[in-house]
Structure 1
Amino acid sequence: MDIKTKLLSTAESLFDRHGFNATGMDRLTNAAEMSSRTLYKHASSKNSLIAQVLKERDSRFLRRLEVHSINALFDALEDWMRVESCRGCLFLRAYGETGGDTSEIAEVVLAHKDGLREKIQEIVRTETGGVDDRALAEQILILFEGATAVAVYRGAGVVATARDAAVALLEKARS
């Protein structure tokens, strides 16, 4: 594993487990077993590092969502939670901890959320025979995001309930 990959992986793990504000640069350098000079060579600031971590996570998460049905979408979410964690959405946590005021972080968060919304709209179009039902896509997005939030205290099994609600909405839209 190269140095940058190790840094991003370590930072993501610490940010996910402890939060962004509670994870200081000293903790990062110790956990990544690198000097602060090396850390700053790969990330000019903590905000830059947070943005890089979120971009990498976005790429991994959206690859997991390369699916074409509502059932598969929620299956992918449940699988993500079982493999990665049920600690809530790291993007929303970053946005919340920074108040949305740090532009380089806010841009990554909003781009991720736009990508997720677009993916759900694409699946809804596929599942409804080409109908661009943005209201339905928004409802499914809310179920998806809600399942992510509720899983924090109820576990990944709640995704099945959200999936059932999304499928019911989709079936209603088809009729």
Structure 2
Amino acid sequence: MDRISKLTATAEQLFDRHGYMATGIDRLTEAAGMSSRTLYKHAGSKAALMARVLTERDRRFMARLDVQTVDALFAALEDWVRVEGCRGCLFLRSRAETGGDTPEIADAVAAHKDAFHRRIAEVVAKDLGQDDPALAEQMLILFEGATHAAVYRGQQAVAAARAVAAILLESARG
């Protein structure tokens, strides 16, 4: 693993566990095993590093959502929560911490959420056999809600959302 990949992976773990604001440069450099000078050389800034972390997380998360059905979307979320943990959406948490005032972070969050919304709409349309923007919005809210409810309810929050998604989809078909 090259230095920037190691730094990105380390920063993701720290930002995800402790938050963007609470993760200082000293903690990052110690965990990554590099000097602050080297960190800034590779990352540019803490905000740029967070944007890189979000871009990498987006790549991994969206790859998991390369599915054909609504049920598979929620199955992918169950798997994500099992593997990555139940800490809520790193994108929304980082945006909330910075108030949307850090352009690199705000841009990475917006790009992810736009792509995520499109992906949900594509899967709903494919599964239903037609576009249904209202149902896609409901699935998006259900998915996001399950992600955050899993923080305190665990994986059963995602299982419950998966069951509700099946009911919504069946209702839309009927």
1:74 aligns with 2:78: no
The separation in 1 between residues aligned to 2:40 and 2:61, in whole angstroms, is 26
For the residue of structure 2 that corresponds to 1:157, the secondary structure is: helix
Which position in structure 1 is the counterpart of 2:102? 102
Which position in structure 2 is the counterpart of 1:162? 161
Once the two structures are TM-superposed, the CA of residue 158 in structure 1 deviates from its matched residue by 1.2
For the residue of structure 2 that corresponds to 1:95, the secondary structure is: helix
Once the two structures are TM-superposed, the CA of residue 64 in structure 1 deviates from its matched residue by 0.8
Q: Deviations over 1:77-112 (max 9, x none)?
A: 010011011001000000000001111111110111
Once the two structures are TM-superposed, the CA of residue 123 in structure 1 deviates from its matched residue by 0.8
Percent of counterpart pairs with the same letter? Answer: 65
Q: Which amino acid aligns with 1:149?
A: H
Which position in structure 2 is the counterpart of 1:153? 152
Once the two structures are TM-superposed, the CA of residue 149 in structure 1 deviates from its matched residue by 0.5
The separation in 1 between residues aligned to 2:28 and 2:11, in whole angstroms, is 6
Q: Deviations over 1:28-63 (max 9, x none)?
A: 000000111110111111100010000000000000
TM-score, normalising length from structure 1? 0.98
Q: Which amino acid aligns with 2:166?
A: V
For the residue of structure 2 that corresponds to 1:62, the secondary structure is: helix
TM-score, normalising length from structure 2? 0.98
1:49 aligns with 2:49: yes
Give structure 2 stretches of 5+ with no counterpart: none
Give structure 1 stretches of 5+ with no counterpart: none
Q: Which amino acid aligns with 2:40?
A: Y
The separation in 1 between residues aligned to 2:82 and 2:63, in whole angstroms, is 16
For the residue of structure 1 that corresponds to 2:120, the secondary structure is: helix
Task: Give the alignment's Cα RMSD to 1 decimal.
Answer: 0.7
Q: Which amino acid aligns with 1:140?
A: M
The separation in 2 between residues aligned to 1:21 and 1:5, in whole angstroms, is 21
Q: Which amino acid aligns with 2:132?
A: D
Paired residues in the alignment total 174
Q: Which amino acid aligns with 1:20?
A: Y
Q: How does 1:20-99 map to 2 (within 5 A)?
A: 20-99=20-99
